[in-house]
Amino acid sequence: MMNNFLDTADRLRRARDTRFASGEKESFDLVFKGISALRAAHSKAALDTDNLESVFGAFEMARLSGRLGTLSPGEIGALNPSMRSLIVGTLERAILLPVTKGGVFPPRPYDDFVKLVTNVAGLSLGPVSIITFNYDLNLDYMFHFANQAMDYCFDDKPTGGVPVMKLHGSVNWARCTGCSKVAPWALGRFFQKLSWDRSLLMFGETQTVTLDVGAKIATYEHCTGHACETAPVIVPPTWNKAEYQQIGTVWKHAAQHLSEAENIIVIGYSLPETDQFFRYLFALGTIGDARPQRFWVVDPDPEVAKRFEALLGPSFRSRFLHYKKTFSESLGQLQGLQLA
């Protein structure tokens, strides 16, 4: 989705029927003004202004340096909050959950993915853990729908369920105005407070619904009587993550799981050059006693595979395989992992 994410966002901001919340349209417009400024530097520096991760990283550097073309200091300071608003607004409008017989199902192919996770977890390959860079809630809703517990790894000790470590934050993570901690708004708690109009679901008046947790994050009370900040916690894909140390426990768990992993399967992560953070996390995290069995990269882009192969040391490189498939196309291959 990263390669066409900004195209989708641009279509939304230009569409006459898009209903924007207060200040949201201005955020979309500022992001694309910033992208125009980045394109002016294209003749002197290589920068993929069509890729969300690259643009978000460039905006973070602009914030630190205080410079981006002709943008004013105020506009530069507002770029990152505007980008977060654009990410949340685009994801929650573009991801449609199918409605069938009054039930809201995970979007395809996540219905098949939960079966894969369940099947692999029952094999001698060992337990499954998931490290993701996605901000959306497809994975979260998949587990919620399957009534399967998940652990966001915010605590030092496991809380039970499949460990899901979202290294770049999530649209359902918020900073509490009471205790200042970052906390996830688990979907179970969200649906205790808010939900879809059941009459629309039961009588077939809609075929799809959206899950707008991020848009309503300010209504989440982590500490009783204290609403959360309006912007979800979404971390730019750059090396500078000092101000996001409150989710450091998630990164520590990710390093631990990497050190114990015998099979690593990468699906849909492009390993952008700007994300030096993950490169160091992988290098240090994979130090451990685990004996590598597989390192698979599932992505139709051969350049992505080359970046991962260059990342690997000899132990994993000898176990490296690239599958030129999309996420949905790969599930059948991954179902046969135990036979490979």
The answer on 90 and 112 residing in a single domain is: no
CB 96 within 8 A of CB 209: yes
Tens of pLDDT along 194-250?
988 888 787 777 899 999 999 999 999 999 999 999 989 998 876 666 667 778 899
CB 89 within 8 A of CB 117: no
CB 154 within 8 A of CB 147: no
Query: Parallel, antiparallel, or unpaired for β 130-132 and 103-104?
Result: unpaired
160-169, 182-191, 241-250, 284-293: least confidently modelled range: 241-250
The answer on 242 and 106 residing in a single domain is: yes
Decide: helix, strand or coil at residue 100. Answer: strand
Write down the pLDDT at residue 307: 93
Q: How far apart are CA 80 and CA 71, in angstroms?
A: 13
pTM of the entire predicted model: 0.89
Q: Give φ, ψ of 97 to 5 degrees.
A: -95, 125
Which domain-ending residue is among 73, 94, 115?
94
CB 114 within 8 A of CB 142: yes
The answer on 89 and 110 residing in a single domain is: no
Compare 331 and 131 and report the one with higher pLDDT: 131
**339 has pLDDT over 50:** no
Q: How far apart are CA 239 and CA 335, in angstroms?
A: 35
Tens of pLDDT along 89-108?
999 999 999 999 889 999 98
Residue 26 structural domain:
2-94
Q: What is the mean pLDDT of residues 326-340?
A: 69
The answer on 165 and 23 residing in a single domain is: no
**125 has pLDDT over 80:** no
* Domain count within the chain: 2
Q: What is the mean pLDDT of residues 116-135?
A: 77
Residue 64: what residue type? L
Is position 20 within any domain?
yes
Place of tokens 């992992």: 337
Which domain-ending residue is among 94, 122, 140?
94
Tens of pLDDT along 269-296?
888 776 778 888 888 888 888 888 889 9
Sign of the Cα pseudo-torsion (270, 141, 92, 177, in order): negative
The answer on 156 and 54 residing in a single domain is: no
Q: What is the mean pLDDT of residues 258-273?
A: 86
The answer on 176 and 62 residing in a single domain is: no
First to last CA, the chain: 29
Q: Name which of 132, 193, 190 is nearest 162 in CA terms.
A: 132
Which domain-ending residue is among 74, 94, 114?
94
